[in-house]
Structure 1
Amino acid sequence: MDTNTTAVLILVGSFFVMLICRFPIAFAIGLASIFTTYYLGLPMMQIAQLMVKGVNVFTLMAVPFFIIAGELMGAGGISKRLINLSNALVGWLRGGLAMVNIVASMFFGGISGSSTADTASLGTILIPMMHEQGYDDEFSTNVTMASSVQGLLIPPSHNMVMYAMVAGSVSVGRLFLGGIIPGIVLGIALMIYSYILAVKRHYPKGEPFNIKNVLVTLADSIWGLITVIIVVVGVVSGIFTATESAAIAVVWAIFVSFIVYKELTPVKMWHVIERSLGTLAIVMILISTSQVFGWLLTYLKMPEMVASAILGLTDNRYAIMLILNVTMLLLGTIMDMSAIILVATPILLPIAMTCGLDPVHFGVIMILNLGIGLITPPVGGTLFVGSAVSGVPIEKLIKTLVPFFIVMIVVLLLITYIPGIVMFLPNLLMPVLGV
């Protein structure tokens, strides 16, 4: 066995052994990199240099701002206003609260960009409301978790910023635009399934549709929704970079939460900072250690090995795209989303590009795959949050999640094999790469 093959086995093998032993993902990545570097006889100082290089990226500055903005808007009264707006729009349908849940996630996702934040914020309000109106606890929790994945696709999404950073010359603005239609398609698909189930189980309707109520709730929630306009329009038009728009979004969120809605107290603000720093610390450690891991993968020619293995199975582009989806779905069940983006993108993106996939198209496919992973055991972060919020054991949720998985995978296949769903808005509004 040659040196490179042994090094690959040490790198990948030790990483998965530590995952099985429940090491924190960042430590598993970092230690596996140290073991491999030592075996190869490379200078240990290179690890420190690569870790610093990994976080010394201007685009990366957008990530903490998006995290803080999402936490601010979640704690500042925006959640209940979005629920009121969603209720006015779709609450009159059969299974109205399920529809409200999905539409509210569509709105809230455009502010927080986080599946777990969406589930925690909206779930604490909507799941008890649905229980009181006779909805099954499992269904109430599952529709909250499944719809929260829209938040990863609909901009702003700090995961898309991370993908753009790892992928290289990929426009954040084009990625943001690429996620809008798939996010809406996912929401519509979930609404169709929820409506069919609501009719079958005789779930209640809400109050009749009232245009005056829609206008009143829209006026009340518009301050929060302006956050999305600031980010998306600012980045797409070229007025702001992603980092600048994220910083402005934080300032706007503070203004709305403190001055307009007056629901963000100093105590709440402290908790917002605390949660944001906790999330950011995890993300930054992951990025720095993944930089070393990714460099070693490239040094050992792992991307070429994986590409040769996949292309050796078939040269059919549709089959290769299916293999890539299955690979990402499987990775999503055992690894953290951020870690997969950082580690797997350099390996899988070149393969996708050999099939003719635009990096923006592949990025959206990856985000949805990994979003499904967030509600899949054994490491699905959103699944754990949903269970904690609702009090329903994970074992019960998993059984009833199967139809939602099917709906989401159908949407995944649609956006994979119909590129126009992703690429229509980027090609229409930003035909030239580079923002």
Structure 2
Amino acid sequence: MILWSILIGLAICIVIGMPISFGLGAISLFIFFYADYSLSPIVAQAVNGLDSFPLLAIPLFILVGEVMSEGGIATRLVRLASALVGFVAGGLGQVAVMTSMFFGGISGSAVADASAVGSMMIEPMKRHHYSAPLATAIVVAASVVGIIIPPSIPMILFGVVTNTSISQLFLAGIVPGILITLGLAATTYVQSRKNGRGQPFSFPELKDALKDAVLALLLPIIIVGGILTGVFTPTESAAIALVYAFAVSFFVYRSLSLKRFFSLCAATGRLTGVVMLLLAFASVLAWLLTANMIPQQLVTSLSTITENRLLLLLILSAFLLVVGFFMDLTPAMVILAPLMTPVVVKLGIDPVYFGVLMSFILGIGLITPPVGTVLYVGCGVGKVGMESLVKSLMPFYFTLVGLLAVFLLFPGVVLWFR
């Protein structure tokens, strides 16, 4: 009854357009009144859900991405990417994909990736005879890399709500992130060959671009290297990355003012508030589900359907793809991860592997209609209609689903660094 109440309530929220965080709060109140529970656990569980040190990494990484965009770091990464791959057929498209990988290795957010890279790359691609929908589609598709290459905000959420090692999740995202980048680069090559090369290869330009971007490149090295070596935790790496990004942008590049930095802090605070409100009410629902042994019942129910790991993962993957059509990544992650993880663990599937898989599948949902957040960002930045953008995205959808099949069939690819 409780699970059905939650599912029906979420469906109603989606249909009427109510913010998911408010919907979760309303559903929680309804269940507490209907089941005649004391209301005191609502506040306690909401606060407990936010009382987590790793959650500090989310606003910090969001702010790092904002500082990168404003402080000149992103511009230098674009120049380096252009020097590295701009000579390939469809060169500017390749630059957009490569830049997304660099940017995602710092911000951990697909929305920030699409917004920052799109604002820098879409107009130059249009001037080089890319159609507006294709130029936008390349940027939108490449933004998925931003939540797989470490750091990753969705993986932080998964780690918090399922008590899985965030450091291990970050490590597991490295190889899939590189493979997704290569797959999207190949698709971009096929789709944009007629647009020629963005620029001839120049070793002096590559040398100068590398020299100019060396301080920017140190940022992902600090983040990932520090976590790999155990020098600091993912949350500490986010704080160090922010201090470094601010210092480089303010003192070295001198392209970020204090006034603008405080504006970025305020914008980050507003966005973080939305995420935290959602997580607080999701924690209340998670407590209700656990108290009523819903995860255990799901494990039993799915075990009667199949005990084949691959078949179970196919079922859950198909379900998550459908969920991605109608629900944004963050609410889907905080609601479904605590439900699904016990099911896969029961069958001996590594929760780290499932966390990367779930992040990737819900990441695909970010670029699929009708609710895909990154789609709307792309339409705004690229000044294109939704229908034409989705049409241009179709080859990239096939590539991403093909890569998902690879990750399902060969789990070792995801767990390469485990």
Is 1:139–1:400's contact at 8 Å kept on the other side of the alignment?
Answer: yes
How do 1:75-90 residues align onto structure 2 when only pairs under 5 Å count? 75-90=70-85
Q: Which of residues 228, 235, 245 is equivalent to 2:227?
A: 235
Of 399, 406, 416, which residue of structure 2 is paired with 1:414? 406
Give the structure 2 partner of residue 244 of structure 1.
236
> CA offsets, 1:280-310, max 9 Å, x none?
1111111111100111122233223333343
Structure 1 stretches of 5 or more lacking a match?
428-435
Equivalent-residue separation in structure 2 for 1:341 and 1:400 (angstroms): 27
Question: How far does the alpha carbon of each residue in 1:217-267 deviate from its partner, in whole angstroms, 9 at most, with x for none?
Answer: 112112122121222111221111222111111111110110111111234
Q: 1:4-403 maps to which residues of 2 (within 5 A)? A: 5=1, 7-168=2-163, 170-199=164-193, 202-403=194-395
Partner Cα separation in structure 1 for residue 348 and residue 409 of structure 2:
11
Aligned ranges for residues 415-434 of structure 1 at < 5 Å?
415-425=407-417, 427=418
Q: Secondary structure at the match of 1:424?
A: coil
- Give the aligned residue type for 2:219: T
Amino acid at match of 2:180: L
Shift of 1:54: 0.5
Whether the 8 Å contact between 1:374 and 1:381 is mirrored in structure 2 is yes
User: In 2, are the aligned partners of 1:12 and 1:32 still within 8 Å (CA)?
Assistant: no
Structure 2 CA distance, aligned partners of 1:395 and 1:306?
38
1:101-160 CA distance string (max 9 Å, x none): 100000011111111111111101211101011011111101101101101011111221
1:398-431 Cα shifts (integer Å, max 9, x gaps): 2222211110011111112211211111x2xxxx
| Aligned-partner Cα distance in 2 for 1:274–1:42 | 38
**Counterpart residue identity of residue 30, structure 2:** F
| Structure 1 counterpart SS, 2:192 | helix
Task: Identify the range of structure 1 (305-314 vs 355-364) with the bigger mean alpha-carbon deviation.
Answer: 305-314
Work out the CA distance in 2 between the residues paired with 1:348 and 1:100. 37
Matches of 1:239 and 1:266, distance apart in 2: 30
The secondary structure found in structure 2 opposite 1:135 is coil
| Separation in 2, partners of 1:387, 1:139 | 12
Percent identical residues:
37
Distance in 2 (CA, whole Å) between partners of 1:104 and 1:61 is 26
Deviations 1:354-398 (A, max 9, x none): 343211111110110011011111211100000000110112212
Cα pair 1:8 1:300 within 8 Å, conserved: no
Q: Could you tell me how far apart the structure 1 residues matched to 2:85 and 2:358 are? A: 30
Secondary structure at the residue paired with 2:367? coil
Retained in 2: the 8 A contact 1:290–1:343? yes
Distance 2:379 2:158 in 1: 29
- 2:394 alignment partner AA: V
CA deviation map 1:71-115 (0-9, x unaligned): 111211122111110110000011001100100000011111111
CA drift at 1:179? 0.5
Report which stretch shifted further, 383-392 or 226-235.
Answer: 226-235
Classify the secondary structure of the residue corresponding to 1:149.
helix
Distance 1:8 1:92 in 2: 54
Contact in 1 for aligned 2:173/2:356 (Cα 8 Å): yes
- Residues 294 and 346, structure 1, Cα contact 8 Å, conserved in 2: yes
TM-score by length of 1: 0.93
1:180-230 per-residue CA deviation (whole Å, 9 max, x = no partner) reads 11111011111111112223xx11212222222112111211212212122
Shift of 1:41: 0.9
Alignment check: 8 A CA contact 2:106 2:223 kept: no
Give, as a single letter, the amino acid of the residue that structure 2 aligns with 1:188. L
CA distance in 1, matches of 2:4, 2:175: 41
